[in-house]
């Protein structure tokens, strides 16, 4: 178990909150993203604090309550990512770890290592789902069964692997708490691997180049 002793932007991938896109509007070369979140999350976070939105760390630039809507404002440099968010009914949210919090397990930075494509999705008994994703990336060779990764910000364990694909069993609780079940075949997840594995992969790739 580790204790966070600085303000590094780190996340666990354990999703307890989702939000909805309230508005996306052009702003400069990017977009302003406004999310409607729960009143509890709205109260808990502050302007300039950070949230993982579908696995991507964003800084809260503003807060506003409009009637029944609890709104958080962000800036997105990528209009493509904004368009992806607009297509989803809900977005996976996680606030960054606070100073002094004790955390067990892996930690992530909220910076996607890439994007993987959903190529198979099947229902499991009890309400879970089984998915397979295709990830054409050199980092795959450094992963193994039982390793932890985040898909759209959600912590998952690799159940099985093929040459360029990863397979996961997603439990009913995770299905209910996140938006993973919304994805259709051919759509993409943001994927983030363990930062230590990523760093080792980068070092080895550099030595071999």
Q: Where exactly are the structural domains of the chain?
A: 10-98, 114-195
| Average pLDDT across the chain, whole number | 92
Residue 8: pLDDT band by 50, 70, 90 thresholds? Answer: low
Residue 6: per-residue pLDDT = 42
**What CA–CA distance (Å, rounded) separates 51 from 4?**
16
Architecture label for domain 10-98 = Beta Barrel (2.40)
**Quick one: how far is CA 200 from the chain centroid?**
22
Average confidence (pLDDT) over 23-46:
95
pLDDT tens digits, 154-166: 999 999 999 999 9
Residues 6+ apart with CB under 8 A from 94: 11, 12, 13, 14, 15, 16, 17, 51, 52, 153
Residue among 179, 183, 190 nearest 21 (CA): 179
Architecture label for domain 114-195 = Beta Barrel (2.40)
Using alpha carbons, list the distances in angstroms from residue 11 to 87, 101, 143, 192, 204: 24, 11, 20, 11, 26
Residues 6+ apart with CB under 8 A from 145: 158, 159, 160, 161
Question: Residue 142: is its pLDDT beyond 70?
Answer: yes
Question: Residue 73: is its pLDDT beyond 80?
Answer: yes
**What CA–CA distance (Å, rounded) separates 94 from 57?**
9
10 close to 96: Cβ distance less than 8 angstroms: yes
Strand partners, 70: 37, 65
Residue 143: pLDDT band by 50, 70, 90 thresholds? Answer: very high
pLDDT tens digits, 124-138: 999 999 999 999 999
Average confidence (pLDDT) over 198-209:
84
153 close to 92: Cβ distance less than 8 angstroms: yes
Measured in degrees and rounded to the nearest 5, phi and psi for residue 30 equal -125, -145
Give the helix/strand (H/E) hosting 198: helix 195-208
Q: Does the CA dihedral 53-112-32-95 come out positive or negative?
A: positive
Percentage of the chain exceeding pLDDT 70? 93
More confident residue, 3 or 115: 115
Residue 67: per-residue pLDDT = 96
Strand partners, 63: 72
Q: Please give the structure tokens belonging to residue 117.
A: 């494509």
| 10-98 and 114-195 share one fold | yes
Residue 9: pLDDT band by 50, 70, 90 thresholds? Answer: confident
Question: Residue 174: is its pLDDT beyond 90?
Answer: yes
pLDDT tens digits, 75-113: 999 988 998 899 999 999 999 987 667 676 789 999 999
Residue 104: per-residue pLDDT = 65
């Amino acid at each position: 178990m580790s204790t966070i002793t600085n303000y590094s932007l780190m996340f666990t991938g354990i999703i307890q909150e989702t939000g909805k896109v309230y508005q996306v509007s052009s702003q400069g070369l990017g977009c302003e993203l406004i999310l409607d979140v729960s009143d509890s999350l709205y109260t808990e976070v502050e302007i300039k604090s950070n949230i993982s939105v579908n696995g991507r760390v964003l800084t809260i630039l503003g807060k506003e309550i409009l009637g029944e809507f609890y709104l958080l404002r962000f800036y997105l440099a990528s209009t493509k990512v904004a368009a992806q968010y607009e297509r989803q009914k809900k977005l996976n949210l996680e606030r960054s770890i606070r100073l002094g919090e004790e955390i067990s397990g892996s930690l992530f930075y909220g910076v996607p290592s890439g994007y993987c494509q959903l190529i198979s999705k099947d229902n499991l008994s009890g309400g879970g789902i089984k998915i397979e994703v295709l990830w054409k990336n050199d980092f795959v060779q450094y992963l193994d069964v039982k390793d932890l990764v985040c898909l759209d910000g959600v912590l998952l364990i690799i159940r099985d692997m093929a040459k360029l694909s990863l397979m996961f069993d997603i439990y009913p609780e995770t299905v209910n708490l996140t938006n993973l079940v919304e994805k259709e075949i051919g759509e993409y997840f943001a994927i983030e691997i363990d930062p230590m594995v990523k760093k080792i992969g980068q070092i080895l790739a550099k030595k071999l180049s």
